[in-house]
Structure 1
Amino acid sequence: MLSPDLQDEISVAYEARKELGPEYERAVLDSFAAGAAEAIDRRVDARLAQRAPEARQQPDNSHVAVPVFSLLFGVGGSIWLTAGAGADADSVFAMWLGIVLLNIVFGRMHHRSR
């Protein structure tokens, strides 16, 4: 549903177009579009301001996913490499070294983005 302000702006633009004639139609439409965009921006800003306290209450724990999945992958990979694939200790060590390096890089990237 259109807000009363937007309805008023539409009426004003329509009446201005009728009075000024078709040669000013583009200017009237541009003015209306700018006003409508400002009204939409104000409404979006108001809604975002209402939601901002909710967003602050919920901590961002997305940085926990990489270490947790790395640990699960490392344990599962170690079991598979030793029991299933019959790999030696060097293969397991190389896998864990890669996991540790990945976590170090991710940690530094996450630290820089804060």
Structure 2
Amino acid sequence: MVPDIASQQPPATGRPVPPPSVAPSTREDLRAVMAARRDLGPDYEDALVDSFLDKLDVEIAARVRNEVAAHLSRQPPGSQPRQKDNGVAVALGSLGIGIPLTTIAGAAGHLPGMVLAWGGIIAVNVAYALGRRNQR
């Protein structure tokens, strides 16, 4: 049985958190590995250690799952983290590119060049807005 370590106080509270207690099965497994090492000798030491570490990995993974599940259950429903909205960055980037592009297009292609340049900028912004709308 894996102890529920999620109920312990986090270190941010200023109170020390006691180390999680070792499960009785883990303690018994370690004793069995030590006894087997005495019986089998040093030739089997690596295999015994690997076997014990595999069991320990399973227990640690179960503890982590337990802690994450407890943390997620304490969050209010619908409080998933919001994704960062890059709409302002796209708008400011469009304006930042639009000013020099207008100058270049106006000098090279006059009014048709400026219309083409701003048409491209508008197309990028519309494509971004439609993509955002489809993600919601």
TM-score class normalised by the smaller sequence: 0.5 to 0.7
TM-score, structure 2 normalization: 0.57
In the alignment, is residue 4 of structure 1 matched against residue 4 of structure 2? no
Instruction: Report what 2:127 is aligned to.
Output: 101
Q: Say whether the 8 Å CA contact 1:13–1:29 is kept in structure 2.
A: yes
Name the CA shift for 1:30/1:38 in 2 (closer, same or farther; >3 Å).
same
2:41 paired residue among 21, 24, 43: 21
The residue identity in structure 2 corresponding to 1:68 is V
Instruction: Report what 1:48 is aligned to.
Output: 68
Give the Å deviation of 1:45. Answer: 0.6
In the alignment, is residue 60 of structure 1 matched against residue 81 of structure 2? yes
The residue identity in structure 2 corresponding to 1:92 is W
Q: Structure 1 stretch 69-78 or stretch 36-45: which is displaced more?
A: 69-78
Name the CA shift for 1:61/1:68 in 2 (closer, same or farther; >3 Å).
farther
Give the Å deviation of 1:91. Answer: 1.2
Aligned residues: 108
Q: Say whether the 8 Å CA contact 1:13–1:32 is kept in structure 2.
A: yes
SS at match of 1:58: coil
Instruction: Report what 2:13 is aligned to.
Output: none
C-alpha separation in 1, matches of 2:88 and 2:55: 50
Name the CA shift for 1:20/1:107 in 2 (closer, same or farther; >3 Å).
farther
TM-score, structure 1 normalization: 0.64
Give the Å deviation of 1:95. Answer: 1.1
